[in-house]
């Protein structure tokens, strides 16, 4: 399945059905009179976040969504049938944006089962029976039904993951996610092997969490260089970042600062997220060089550095322990400490 994280679509709710013009002619009812019923209401456009979707690829082939209009009223004061609501199913994490210069956020789907009535269908028109008055006993006017609403919108998917992987191209992010999850990300000995985000689930010491791998960042990504800038939105919702630095880079401190500068330039609070820093690809280095590079990276970042080799599956346990501990810390901060349980003997 191809990954698509944004799409432009056209939506239109259903128009209201017209009211009827009708007159009754019954044998034992003197004079008769108008009995035209009202038109039915048009269908609404409803968005719903559902489980099991992680791409917007369906919207590449279907770009126009129109809810059915209401049916017209009829005689004997019968109201027309209403048009069925059109439910558009989107992945959890989808944002609905206006098609304007600022891409105004209109709706954000962060929970499974969340539903939003986006465009309301038009109300049905009045039948001629509703126009009857003491001075207008045989009205022939009727309502044509309220018009539909329509607009172009953008759908943008921001993946929901607990941990986001960041780093320069070829820092070993795909190898790492393959080593700790069931993902099967493409790995190659060249930059930008990852061209679209990847998700994987880590099971570690009784805890499960989702990891997102995005294409590598290069200097100037925030201004449009490379492909990583477009996908930074997928880690906006992550609670923790795992920053991988290639131990084979000419200057690991510079590599670290390039990525941090791009996160800061992008904004959205990415640079302020809790970050675990790891020196990757240490399996081909001796202990003395690993210690020297770790010290250099620690001095540049002011953070603890975890040496590891995703390919050799070396040093993964301490990194996963740190991620689990940080996720637990974030959970306590968000929800607050649990209240103590009072115990008393029977």
The pLDDT, as a whole number, for residue 340 is 43
User: Do residues 211 and 322 both lie within one domain?
Assistant: yes
Query: Residue 145: left if φ>0, alpha if ψ -120 to 50, beta else—which one?
Result: left
Is residue 215 marked as binding? yes
User: Do residues 171 and 141 both lie within one domain?
Assistant: no
- The CATH number of residue 75's host domain is 2.70.210.12
Is residue 312 marked as binding? no
Is residue 321 marked as binding? no
- The CATH number of residue 328's host domain is 3.40.50.300
Residue that terminates a domain, selected from 125, 157, 189:
157
Is residue 27 marked as binding? no
Q: Please check whether residue 21 lies inside any domain of the structure.
A: yes
pTM (whole model) above 0.85: no
Q: Please check whether residue 129 lies inside any domain of the structure.
A: yes
Is residue 196 marked as binding? yes
User: Do residues 191 and 127 both lie within one domain?
Assistant: no
Is residue 41 marked as binding? no
Is residue 216 marked as binding? yes
Q: Please check whether residue 340 lies inside any domain of the structure.
A: no
Is residue 193 marked as binding? yes
User: Do residues 266 and 125 both lie within one domain?
Assistant: no
User: Do residues 98 and 126 both lie within one domain?
Assistant: yes
User: Do residues 176 and 141 both lie within one domain?
Assistant: no
Counted domains in the chain: 2
For residue 95, give both structure tokens. 């944002």
Domain limits at 49? 6-157
Is residue 311 marked as binding? yes
User: Do residues 189 and 327 both lie within one domain?
Assistant: yes
Is residue 309 marked as binding? yes
User: Do residues 296 and 280 both lie within one domain?
Assistant: yes
User: Do residues 57 and 111 both lie within one domain?
Assistant: yes
User: Do residues 183 and 282 both lie within one domain?
Assistant: yes
Q: Tens-digit pLDDT profile for the chain (346 aa)?
A: 456 788 999 999 999 999 999 998 877 777 788 999 999 999 999 999 998 887 888 898 899 999 999 999 999 999 999 999 999 999 988 999 999 888 899 999 989 999 999 999 999 999 999 999 988 988 999 999 999 999 999 998 887 788 988 888 888 888 888 888 876 655 544 444 455 677 788 888 888 888 888 776 766 555 555 555 567 777 888 889 999 999 988 899 999 999 898 888 888 788 888 999 999 999 888 889 999 999 999 999 888 999 999 888 899 999 999 999 988 887 766 555 444 434 344 3
User: Do residues 76 and 21 both lie within one domain?
Assistant: yes
User: Do residues 151 and 175 both lie within one domain?
Assistant: no
Is residue 173 marked as binding? yes
Q: Please check whether residue 345 lies inside any domain of the structure.
A: no
Q: Please check whether residue 342 lies inside any domain of the structure.
A: no
**Contacts for 191 with CB less than 8 Å, ≥ 6 apart:** 169, 170, 216
213 contacts 198 by C-beta, under 8 angstroms: yes
Residue that terminates a domain, selected from 114, 136, 157:
157
Q: Please check whether residue 74 lies inside any domain of the structure.
A: yes
Q: Please check whether residue 346 lies inside any domain of the structure.
A: no
Is residue 283 marked as binding? yes
Residue that terminates a domain, selected from 157, 183, 199:
157
Phi, then psi, of 317 in degrees rounded to 5: -60, -50
The pLDDT, as a whole number, for residue 346 is 33
Q: CA 138, CA 123: separation in Å to the nearest integer?
A: 24
The pLDDT, as a whole number, for residue 190 is 42
Cα distances (Å, whole numbers) of residue 245 to 13, 213, 293, 294, 321: 50, 14, 10, 10, 19
Is residue 282 marked as binding? yes
Is residue 195 marked as binding? yes
Is residue 331 marked as binding? no
Is residue 148 marked as binding? no
Is residue 194 marked as binding? yes
Q: Please check whether residue 216 lies inside any domain of the structure.
A: yes
Is residue 62 marked as binding? no
The pLDDT, as a whole number, for residue 195 is 53
């Amino acid at each position: 399945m191809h990954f698509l994280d944004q799409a432009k679509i056209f939506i239109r709710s259903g128009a209201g059905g017209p009211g009827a013009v009708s007159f009754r002619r019954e044998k034992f009812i003197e004079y008769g009179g108008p009995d035209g019923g009202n038109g039915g209401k048009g269908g609404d456009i409803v968005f719903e976040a559902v489980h099991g979707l992680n791409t917007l690829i369906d919207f590449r082939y279907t770009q126009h969504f129109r809810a059915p209009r209401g049916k017209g009223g009829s005689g004997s004061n019968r109201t027309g049938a209403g048009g069925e609501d059109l439910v558009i199913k989107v992945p959890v994490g989808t944002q609905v944006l206006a098609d304007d210069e600022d891409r105004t956020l209109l709706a954000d789907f962060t929970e499974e089962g969340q539903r939003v009535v986006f465009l309301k269908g038009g109300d049905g028109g009045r039948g001629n029976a509703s126009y009857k008055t003491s001075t207008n006993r045989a009205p022939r006017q009727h309502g044509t039904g309220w018009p539909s609403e329509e607009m172009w919108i953008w759908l943008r998917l921001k993946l929901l993951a607990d941990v986001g992987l960041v780093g320069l191209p070829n820092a070993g992010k795909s190898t790492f996610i393959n080593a700790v999850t069931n993902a099967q990300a493409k790995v190659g000995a060249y930059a930008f092997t990852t061209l679209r985000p990847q998700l994987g689930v880590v099971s570690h010491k009784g805890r499960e969490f989702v990891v997102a791998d995005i294409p590598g960042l290069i200097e100037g990504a925030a201004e449009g260089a490379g492909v990583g800038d477009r996908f930074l939105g997928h880690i906006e919702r992550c609670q923790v970042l795992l920053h991988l630095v290639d131990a084979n880079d000419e200057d690991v401190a510079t590599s670290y600062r390039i990525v941090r500068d791009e996160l800061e330039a992008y904004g959205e609070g990415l640079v302020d997220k809790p970050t675990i820093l790891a020196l990757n690809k240490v399996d081909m280095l001796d202990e003395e060089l690993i210690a020297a590079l770790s010290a250099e990276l620690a001095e540049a970042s002011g953070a603890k550095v975890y040496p590891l080799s995703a390919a050799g599956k070396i040093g993964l346990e301490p990194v996963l322990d740190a991620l689990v501990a940080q996720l637990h810390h974030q959970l306590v901060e968000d929800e607050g400490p649990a209240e103590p349980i009072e115990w008393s003997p029977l």
